[in-house]
Amino acid sequence: MKKILITGAAGQIGTLLTERLRREYGVENIVATNIEAGKNEPLEKDGLFEVMDVRDGKRLLELSKQYKIDTIINLAALLSVVGEKNPSLLWDVNMNGLYNCLEVAHELNLKLFTPSSIAAFGPQTPKDKTPQDTIQRPTSIYGVSKVSGELLCDYYFRKFGVDTRGVRFPGLISYGSMPGGGTTDYAVHIYHAAVKQGAFTCGLKADTYLDMMYMPDALDAIVQLCEADPSRLIHRNAFNITAMSFCPSEIGAAIQQRKPDFKLDYDIDPMKQAIADSWPNSLDDSCAREEWDWNPKYDLEQMTDDMLGRLEIEYEKK
Ligand code: SER
């Protein structure tokens, strides 16, 4: 990777990935794009930034040529909860956006990273230690788009030799950016609420296990897989990756150990609960470990120390 274009750069992953890639690859080599401006000042002022709707394939092609891009990182997408409220918009953005990225990658011979998700699994999937290759059949529109995307990326690699790569991200937890309408968002909001209000009402049941990951590990995964030796990659797209699996009562207990007055209660959101219940409890990520040395650094304890420490400083400043 030398010249990288990021779509959806103002989102939860994009904001932090852009910062990191600008540091590591040079400000002049990273083109951050987003559907609208005015969302994020540092993103727009500290380097190259272009307004681009990923559904506009012509503009994606023009920008890729203009900046001599060699890698597209496609992060423009709607997540699971917003997707259930507007399935046609989700399909339009997630699928037509990915299709445009694949077409441009094919035409200009670029590398393409696009994330899949734990949402690509469904109720018939084995729930514990979910294998890399297994039954998928998701029930959310977001999950349907993710499986379709996995297959489309495999197809472009097999048919046209496009260098497509991707991981199945679990819920991502970050302090420097907020998630945008997913089922796993509670695991970010709980930390903010713990620092600000000392209490949180969770929309998922206490014993709902889901895979999760702290953002520094997620950014490592993107960089590591994009830089991985292609001759080692048997899967290429849709690698299972995880760093931890916990349920709301466990993250609550981790916070209570550090903030004994923290109060956690529950008010179950049936739509979110149904989505979470259709996803795995914990993934088997051994293929990613074998094929490109995936090895996350943060567990629940380390992440909780870091999140609370950073958010306390952040909210004290305000
Ligand atoms: N974090 C996403 C969601 O909850 C899963 O990919 O929708």
Q: What is the pLDDT of residue 309?
A: 97
Nearest residue by C-alpha to atom 2 in ligand 1: 182
pLDDT of res. 276:
98
Q: What is the reported pLDDT for 113?
A: 98
| Under-70 pLDDT residues of the chain | none
Q: How far is CA 131 from the centre of its chain?
A: 20
- Regarding the beta carbon of 100 and ligand 1, being less than 6 Å apart is answered no
CB of 188 shorter than 6 A to ligand 1: no
pTM of the prediction? 0.97
Instruction: Specify the pLDDT at position 265.
Output: 98
Nearest ligand 1 atom, CA 179: 1
The structural architecture, per CATH, of the domain 4-171+213-240 is 3-Layer(aba) Sandwich (3.40)
Pairwise CA distance, residues 149 & 166, whole Å? 10
Condensed to tens digits (0 to 9), the pLDDT of residues 181-239 reads: 999 999 999 999 999 999 999 999 999 999 999 999 999 999 999 999 999 999 999 99
Helix H or strand E segment including 201: strand 199-202
pLDDT at 20: 98
Task: Name the DSSP class of 55.
Answer: T
Q: Give me the residue spans of the domains in the chain.
A: 4-171+213-240, 175-212+244-281+297-317
At 39 the pLDDT is 84
Looking at the chain, the number of H-run helices and the number of E-run strands are 13, 16
CATH topology of domain 175-212+244-281+297-317: UDP-galactose 4-epimerase; domain 1 (3.90.25)
Structure confidence by residue, pLDDT tens digits, 118-143: 999 999 999 999 999 999 999 999 99
Give 28 Cα–ligand 1 centroid separation in angstroms. 31
Handedness of CA 94, 140, 291, 185 (dihedral sign): positive
Q: Using CA of residue 123, residue 83, residue 132, residue 243, what is the dihedral sign? A: negative
| Atom from ligand 1 closest to the CA of residue 169 | 6
